[in-house]
Chain A
């Protein structure tokens, strides 16, 4: 072992080396220089728009237009243009709401919780993940707003002082949702934006056109990279991370209260909050990968920053949370079916598995519980195509999970006389498709105009950013500046 661990350099100095299997996997491949990082990230915003960006944008932005068009149609006509009925007070609307809100979890989780736990690999993906969060929450936020019967009265949901002294019902989880989602969105925007400031300043400084200088300059809030700026920035970011962390857990817990606090068998379960949060992280990471893997394809320079290692880690999280979700499904089934001793509970779960919508249940089980198990194999985690496919399973599975919770429960609850069926109308199908268009279009705009990767943070996780960093056999000050250590090549 010792012979493997110790090398003698050319000038006879003994250098300590870990065995390769124990060596730290570098977070930036090819030992790219700090300048290289700046150049390659900033260039995405600066270069001439690539043709495939335009193709993607012209593909998805018309789809995004479904959303305003169909929502206007729905508000103009009535909620009846959707397929809901008695007993389906909710169906695709709240399913999609929970689906998007769930996706919105990964970003803030990556930024806040991984930040607090000093997981350095987050740096190359957190910006994009946070942006994804914001766009997902935007898509999600549409639904509770527009699913109501009288959209023009939706402002009743906000505590606005009024002459009648009419206030909201603070016992209603739907109201908690309003607060939870709006707080989450606000804090997520702030968090994302604060993290953007130094990079906006970089873009401002590099910008050649007046307009860009002005636009990025406004966004950069006069950032000059001074010591004091960095000090304040670090503190603000830490505080926001601290604020966001409980929010990541609370939002989906509160969304789950919409169901958990009701008395409907199949909804009325205490397992929902942790199970929803785990599911949200699960689905969120799948969506991060869904976006980042094609982004790497678009911009090959990102390969060195979003590495196989990153994908591997995210796949592991998917495996972990998928297993948690699977455990929750089985526990829920066990409690409902067997342990509760409650006829209606057991029937609710029996109906999920054997009732009219049973194929949704099996689709959910397959996509969410079985398919991620393939990530036990490293080779699979490292195969981008497999990872991408599994992520699509997870995305679909998480949608099915929400429909199973909402749809199958409402289809067959207490009184058999009022059991009913539900078919989505074309309006809600295309509205949902539209939200994907909106989501992807926004993400494309983000990719085009803002640095997709946190430039300064990626630099900070490079080995040479460490104040104690000593490149092998080179103690000259120059080496710090040029940052091209000789023996640190990873391969």
Chain B
């Protein structure tokens, strides 16, 4: 760990200057030397006059003394150093909150960071900001860990050798002097939304007018901006208003997952998923399950390449139904492609629904789809009267502009085949001449000469993720590259390996400049709604990194600034003036509202028509889809252990990506699909050899129901060759027990298959590869509910809900059976013990989770991990089944009764239906449902009675608490937990070094990286091995609130925590607000209102355990006319129900329906 220096924030530039010492003020050479010296002056240093003999004498004497006193056997001494001088506003033990934001290419995400003693320990959404209102996403939560990542680049590097900031600045000043007007200078940057960055960029561009500027994002939306420009004009983009839409058609748009809208979209969408209000209806066409597809009322599987055809079919029908000329003209210009026949009725009925809800309908097209398809989407929205209603316009964040990456590549020496041939021929001829003259021959380089002398790469990792045909990594060799990045990764240096994977050569760029994390640097950004957000540093850069604005400013001024004055300068422009009040308010609130949150836009069919005409239908056959990863994004989070260990929301795979295929495709390819007794056996891990765009990839499969046939989806961002100990490191550094396909690489890199033209999908030739099955670390092996739906996951349709609002209470599960028995005065399933009275009359904590709203995004899992210091366990231990997440996101595949196939001899792949073992369903069409499963805090907890040492007990305020100190680890509680939510520390995961993924013993050296220790939440115990742990309802937050109430109450007796005064971590992060937590003894609290819902039910209530966590039944809103609509209510039940229960249930339903049944 580098030394932490706590400094007061920089004073305002105009204000008085303060200094800590005269030396600092003077910046004298003595002071600088004093800073640089390892040992202070006067400290004993080796006297050069002591000769060999003298040295030996001293050593012998000290060794003897050391041996006598056994001083070598002493334990390592550790000291705690307190703040020598207290910081003015810092109260020990009290966190300080700062508003800040995380830069993101689709708009900065406004955050509030929690800092303890000057170190950020948690980030959350900014509750004041309209886009997320306190919610965040998985990656923002996990980004905290990156601050403390010991693998982040820590040094200035000159051609692979450690250098210093001073040398770099010296070199840079010289280089800029030579650069003149910028000829031969190029900038390659990520897409920054920061206004300060934009301002500085403009200034630099003015200083170096001939410099080349390239913005590259591997998952950027250049197709989307082209379509927007064509449809609405270059400055505008559209933003869906999901709360206003009654019917939504999503054509491969993962708006609740990864696409446009994100947090804003999820919030607006799920607000309309409450069946108590008017529900929206979602139609989704996609090639693989995304969280959006999981929320769909109707879902059509289609290859990603066929989405264009489906969109055209929709557009054609909408044009016919609405008679909209603009749409008609776009459709007409769109080349004729036919959509699959079997989906005709689906499209027909969905169109009718959309047209019927004109003005409240919305069509969304995924931003990665070709611009032509997106233009169709805009045209459909125009025809459906969505523009201005369900779709509004906003100014773009200024999408780069400048040159394209390809232009840069050409400038760096990329040649086409002819050019290369010509050059090689020319050189060969010259060499022949030289040979005859006995002169040394010229080397023939792999690429042409570079016209760029200095290339600045700000962020990003183009060598890893640039389109494959550019071979970008190779082009960097001929140029002085200044690489500003967080990791010494593929762009910083490339490696050459021999056939055993041993590194033979490393080729470094000229300069590597460590980048500061966003929590370490001043900055700003533009949120997705156009508001100006602040970015404040929480801690000085741990590894001395620079922010990109510091680097740009250095290029401008030749001086290193703190960044603060740069942001203030921009703020002056944005806020039209600056004063102490407005600046302080900006920092406090974290944002300045957008001047114009919506812009009037009008659809322009003429230009849209032109772009639609450019559509090229992909070839038929197998396709490979390069999907953005819900976890590692484009690969930038791949060294984040929280992210790697988070199960993918759909596949539940950790520590890897895989080729997602449908069961039918698996069978077609002859792998992993076995059909026995009508049951389908998933066998993940068989290998596929995929060839696309001239590159090959071998990758194991994950067979996921609901995937389109002949479509292979692979998440990008894996298979890093060198980055860090988590995401991938060259050579043999990581001890994962040889569990990865390539030593030291996590997952499989699909970027080499991806070209600029086929950046989203490509036709591929695929065949089975006969390698031994690969072990994927999957956290949920079993995806069917096995007839347990009625007890575990209750669901119904809006139609049923309207008829029988409390339908969830009448399902034919064991609970209903128990209730019935209760009525008959049978003492069934009730505890033999009277559970202790819960004495706290003021507080009884409870939670409710709305399954209608939960998208399964799994952000709660990371939020919980961050808040509760939950360690990662590594791939091997996940395979062993020892992951430690306190909240589990259960994902099930289910089916409506209407999809049950009665003909048992059908050769369709079938599996256990969730309703019955007898009935069969087509699992290719299975529906997906999610259920977050934290500790249920049963009032009559089965875990508590069986603990022999009273380590898990109930608190007076109704929390099932764990006393870690008391726990001896019998694991009986975990066995007796019906929800299996207790987690056991099989090893000392906290005491394990980062590069040692498992087992530490008493002999080995232990301990985590120093920086990682800083990331821990000081209010939560860091558990040792051998103890059980589990969700505590964030007891530290509960206690904090209770203490605050007590302090406030002073002598009065009112110690009740104010209504909904705090949130627990999973609730706080939840973008769809599906999780509600609060005080059940407070009639005003949100939880009391939610629990009164008729949909409220408790899982396994029949056991008499009284869970404090309840679920609200999942209600979908299917269109009865659709071909895949449920024909009747899912009558859930099990096989051994007797006639009595059936009769009773029918009677209940009849009563409820007023005899309508």
A420 near B: Cβ within 8 Å? yes
B614 near A: Cβ within 8 Å? no
B1136 near A: Cβ within 8 Å? yes
* Complex interface: chain B residues within 8 A of A417 (CB): 780, 782, 888, 890-892, 931, 933
* Complex interface: chain B residues within 8 A of A263 (CB): 942, 976, 978, 1103, 1105
- Contact of B980 with A415 in the complex, beta carbons under 8 Å: yes
- Contact of A77 with B970 in the complex, beta carbons under 8 Å: no
- Contact of B967 with A416 in the complex, beta carbons under 8 Å: no
A206 near B: Cβ within 8 Å? no
Which of the segments A98-106, A168-176, A363-371 contacts the partner chain? A168-176
* Complex interface: chain A residues within 8 A of B787 (CB): 343, 347
Most chain-A Cβ atoms within 10 A of its Cβ — which of B786, B877, B1105? Answer: B786
- Contact of B948 with A262 in the complex, beta carbons under 8 Å: no
A178 near B: Cβ within 8 Å? yes
* Complex interface: chain A residues within 8 A of B813 (CB): 343
Chain A proximity of B36: nearest CB distance (Å): 44
B907 near A: Cβ within 8 Å? no
Chain A proximity of B833: nearest CB distance (Å): 7
Which of the segments A17-25, A115-123, A145-153, A227-235 contacts the partner chain? A145-153
Complex: how many Å from CA A79 to CA B1024? 12
Known contacts: A147-B970, A149-B1027. The answer to whether A77 contacts B1000 by CB under 8 A is: yes
B882 near A: Cβ within 8 Å? yes
Complex: how many Å from CA A130 to CA B948? 30
- Contact of B933 with A150 in the complex, beta carbons under 8 Å: no
A346 near B: Cβ within 8 Å? yes
Which of the segments A80-88, A287-295, A472-480 contacts the partner chain? A80-88
* Complex interface: chain B residues within 8 A of A419 (CB): 781-782
Specify which of B785, B814, B968, B1001 is in contact with A150 (CB 8 Å cutoff).
B968
Give the dominant DSSP class at A's interface. loop
B-facing mask of A144-162, CB < 8 A → 1, else 0? 1001111101101100000
Chain B proximity of A359: nearest CB distance (Å): 16
What is the interface residue range for chain B against chain A? 35 or more
B:798-833 near A, CB below 8 Å:
813-814, 817, 833
Chain B proximity of A471: nearest CB distance (Å): 60
A-facing mask of B1114-1157, CB < 8 A → 1, else 0? 00000000000000000000101010000000000000000000
- Contact of A76 with B971 in the complex, beta carbons under 8 Å: no
B1025 near A: Cβ within 8 Å? yes
- Contact of B980 with A414 in the complex, beta carbons under 8 Å: yes
- Contact of B890 with A156 in the complex, beta carbons under 8 Å: no
Most chain-B Cβ atoms within 10 A of its Cβ — which of A87, A148, A264, A415? Answer: A415
* Complex interface: chain B residues within 8 A of A153 (CB): 968
* Complex interface: chain A residues within 8 A of B988 (CB): 78
B:972-987 near A, CB below 8 Å:
972, 974-976, 978-980, 982-987
B950 near A: Cβ within 8 Å? yes
Chain B proximity of A184: nearest CB distance (Å): 17
- Contact of A342 with B814 in the complex, beta carbons under 8 Å: yes
A:6-29 near B, CB below 8 Å:
none
Known contacts: A148-B968, A169-B945. The answer to whether A89 contacts B950 by CB under 8 A is: no
A413 near B: Cβ within 8 Å? yes
- Contact of A157 with B968 in the complex, beta carbons under 8 Å: yes
A:24-79 near B, CB below 8 Å:
73, 76-79
B88 near A: Cβ within 8 Å? no
Most chain-A Cβ atoms within 10 A of its Cβ — which of B785, B891, B945, B1028? Answer: B945
- Contact of A262 with B942 in the complex, beta carbons under 8 Å: yes
Chain A proximity of B886: nearest CB distance (Å): 12
Known contacts: A263-B1103, A415-B933, A420-B781. The answer to whether A178 contacts B948 by CB under 8 A is: yes
Chain A proximity of B821: nearest CB distance (Å): 10
Most chain-A Cβ atoms within 10 A of its Cβ — which of B881, B947, B1025? Answer: B881
Chain B proximity of A244: nearest CB distance (Å): 25
A467 near B: Cβ within 8 Å? no
A90 near B: Cβ within 8 Å? yes
Chain B proximity of A54: nearest CB distance (Å): 35
* Complex interface: chain A residues within 8 A of B984 (CB): 79, 86, 89, 149
- Contact of A80 with B987 in the complex, beta carbons under 8 Å: yes
* Complex interface: chain A residues within 8 A of B1002 (CB): 76
Complex: how many Å from CA A242 to CA B969? 36
Complex: how many Å from CA A16 to CA B971? 68
Known contacts: A78-B1026, A86-B881. The answer to whether A262 contacts B971 by CB under 8 A is: no
Chain B proximity of A12: nearest CB distance (Å): 76
* Complex interface: chain B residues within 8 A of A341 (CB): 817, 1136, 1138
Chain A proximity of B969: nearest CB distance (Å): 2
Chain B proximity of A233: nearest CB distance (Å): 38
Known contacts: A263-B942, A417-B782. The answer to whether A175 contacts B948 by CB under 8 A is: yes
* Complex interface: chain B residues within 8 A of A86 (CB): 881-883, 974, 980, 982-984
- Contact of A150 with B1136 in the complex, beta carbons under 8 Å: no
Give the residue name and chain of the B residue nearest to A422 (CB). Answer: B881
Specify which of B891, B950, B999 is in contact with A81 (CB 8 Å cutoff).
B999
- Contact of B974 with A87 in the complex, beta carbons under 8 Å: yes
Specify which of B785, B942, B968 is in contact with A154 (CB 8 Å cutoff).
B968
Complex: how many Å from CA A367 to CA B476? 71
- Contact of A80 with B986 in the complex, beta carbons under 8 Å: yes
- Contact of A85 with B882 in the complex, beta carbons under 8 Å: yes
* Complex interface: chain A residues within 8 A of B1105 (CB): 263
Given contacts A79-B984, A150-B1027, A264-B976, 8 further A-B contacts (CB under 8 A): A88-B881, A89-B984, A149-B1027, A150-B968, A175-B949, A261-B946, A417-B780, A421-B881
* Chain A interface residues toward B at CB < 8 A: 73, 76-81, 83-90, 144, 147-151, 153-154, 156-157, 166-169, 171-175, 178, 258, 261-264, 338, 341-344, 346-347, 410, 413-421
9 nearest A-B pairs in the assembled complex, by CB-CB distance: A149-B969, A149-B1026, A80-B986, A85-B881, A89-B971, A418-B980, A417-B890, A150-B1026, A174-B948
